Chain A
Amino acid sequence: MAGILDFAPAIVLLPFVSFLVALSVGDRLPKGGAYAGIAATAGSLILSVATVLTVAGGQTYDATIYTWAEGLDAVDLTFGVLIDPLSAMMLLIVTLIAFLVHVFSLGYMNDEGETGLPRYYAGLGLFTASMLGFVVADNLLMAFMFFELVGLCSYLLIGFHFREPGPPSAAKKAFLVTRFGDYFFLVGVVAVFATFGTAAFAGEGSFPALAEAALNGEASVTTFGLDPQTWFTIVGLLVLGGVIGKSAQFPLHTWLPDAMEGPTPVSALIHAATMVAAGVYLVARMYGFYALSPTALAIIAFIGGFTALFAATMGVVKREIKQVLAYSTISQYGYMMLGLGGGGYVAATFHLMTHAFFKALLFLGAGSVIIAMHHNENMWDMGGLKDKMPVTYYTFLAGSLALAGIFPFAGFWSKDEVLYETLIHGLGGSPLLLGAYAMGLLAVFFTGFYTFRMVFLTFHGNPRSQTARDPHGVRWNVKGPLVVLGVLATVAGVVNMVPIEKLFGIGGIDFLHQWLDGSFEGLTAHHYADLIPYSSSYIGSEATTVAVGAALSLGLALAGSGLAYLLYNVPEPVRHTDRLGRIKGLLYNNYYQDEYQVWLANGVTRPVARAANKFDGGVVDGVVNGVSGVSLFAGGRVRRIQTGVVSNYAALLTLGLTALLLAFGILGGWFV
């Protein structure tokens, strides 16, 4: 029976077709190929909705659809489609946001008279297709391949305005920094193949299942002379390299703020649904493998907690609206990592979803503001936009409340659950996790502060420039996507209201949790909960812990927002950064992270390369030329036969061959 899930490959292929269309005939199509992209992503969205409904009916799907390389007495390398609750949910998120971004682009790119639109829409199509291919991948190699294609697309789109100096540089940096992480990922892929002989995610013979069996002594795998537990941790950390690069976690986060050079709709796509989400999604996808390694989990949690706090502190001093959002993205993905490392698989997945909605909303809202401001992104030139653009304001506000984690907006529920899971597992005997929790909790305060600083500076107070007094209007193609996402950012939390469930004892409203349990055996949230090496402990009872945790994070979020209200919700806000003293410079310069990475590239690698080049020319080639110098004497004589007449050479060549034949005869005859 051909079910709807058999059409899953079409979800990936439709945007790919729109890429081909925009690339080949986009300049002859109306709107530079935008409609092809909109139609394709709409088609994918409809299919994704159907997929989600089918999965809700209890169906899952895992099939190999293409053998990329057929091994002869060796393993096959294949492409397959894996549809389970996790990938179905992600398909819906990606196609929805890709669709909205395409529509929004009509307003942001076409209406603003950008050139090179076919290239833009081709890039968007390929970007969407690559991400969807990554989402449905049923094995690690396929995931890696599409992961790399996602990287290519980010390069093409961040560098879209290639005639300016900034974007090509940012694009290069994005690709190079993530490539550095992907190096470890690729070593990890190869190691997974060498260890397990397969890279499949799901099923009896999948590598997480084999790893689990190997730890229980039920299967034997190649561990290169190491203890299986140690080796699996190493492999997990290698793959994590790619995650840290793409999801912009410390210390490979530096590419992301620069990537703001790309067009704003692209930023929305990168941050909410594609590239940055890919890293975290990968950890969730192979969570059954990470859950086996306490060390890997602890590292993930700690990196996540640290990144959440670290990025949030940098967000508080930025002048440009997109920069604030960039640091908030890094910080929010830190929360997801914290959740995954802290044993909260459902919580992290939940946050991945809500974040996709509110971050896409905030970027598109920022895009709307940027249109209004004639592409001035400096918040200190804005102010008072609230009354001029109410749709943008209220949707942006909804997104900001979600980002800050204010009850009852979507972000509150998911962030709270991430922190709660980390807290109970930390209390269960993991001080490291408690440390990560503390950082995540502290970051809530900064999040509240930078979010509302941004809102007040942009929309409240008096206009601080001529453009802010008379902003450019936006059309339906901008407002429509904002409204859709605004509603989602407000209400999406209902899918998993765990605190309500636990506080009031209402069973069965943790829909997302139940949803993620409906997967393949071995890929369920339930199975992961059994695997994680943590035990839970509570402050008093479970309900008390929930209440305390929620009160703490909500209190901090309100405190941060309140401080921003006091400082910036005034008619003529002023800079308060001088009060930070010396920390100000540190924050403005992003803790000098860029400097040291640029130094590693330009101050270390390049001189080494130049030294190698000198060595090569002077020593290696010098020896060659020295040897030839000795034979110059002989060369002097040879020169006489260099007449430059080709026929002479031909004659010599024939002579030489004859001589060779003769030599053979003599040698052979003499020998026998």
Chain B
Amino acid sequence: MAGTRVGNRIIGADAPVTVGWENIPKVEGGPAKLAFFTYFQPVMLFALVAFWYYAPNSIATATTAIIIALSFRFFLICLEMVMPRHKSWQLTWKELCTDLFYVSLGYTILRIVDVYIGSEAIIEFIQSSYDWDNLSWFTGMPLLLQALLISLIFDFGQYWMHRGMHNWYPLWLTHAPHHYITQLNINKGAVGNPIELFLIGLGIGGFFDFLPRAALLAASIGLAIGTYQHINVRFNTPMWWRFLFNTTEHHSVHHSQDFQASRSNYGATWIIFDRMFGTCVDGEAEKLGMEGGRRMQIKEAMYFPFSDGWRATRDWFRSKTGRQTGVPAE
């Protein structure tokens, strides 16, 4: 496979990747269908921002945020079933069960761990050891600006954590199971080793004690944009959106079976950090996963960081001590 040159890299040499926006298929159909799939994303974004901006204090709570997030996800799952982007990514009963198992770990065991050693513990520590009056310059800013900055700061942290996972082997061990997904579906963001899910939650944005409304606004921006990372629905996404935000197309390139393509598009909500730091590849891919599309089972995803880490350490130790590492007999 020849691949396409993007900067210094050849994208699509190992597996097919469509580079650029010119050859990306568009949703076709009647005017109502076209309008829905063209305007749904921006309308939802602005509607959610407007809701959190104007909602009275009695409604602007974390419980409302959870209800909205779950309803939005449920709606998108239904949309995936009715209008799949790729038949090869169709959500099956088994895939849904598998995805929800990982989601459930995040809501149960991981949440307990977080209280003791995760983001909640860190937030509590920083809050109790820092004079927050120093941040009044920030909390006095307009709400939308605060929300925008929270979103950007959080995503900046996510970008480097994610990029670190692809470039430093100990972190990669935790992230690798997530890259064994062979299709994108709405809950696939939760698929992976729990250690990775724990690490990715340690975004630096969580360290600040911002005004709740600004935090809820920032979360709604993340919800209305980041949710589309793993979705099996095609939208006629506007070009300004594709320039600013991470899309299904960008994230499919990131999950491609092509090695170089998988080392791109690290952002979660925003794609502008990838554009700034030279890791953005506009385009899309359908063939996803690792090892030619081998599906990693839940059991293996749980022990992979330890088993592969042990194997790599053993091989490194053997190479240092000059011992053979299992060369096959002639």
Task: Please determine whether chains A and B interact with each other in the same assembly.
Answer: no
B residues contacting A by CB (< 8 A) are none
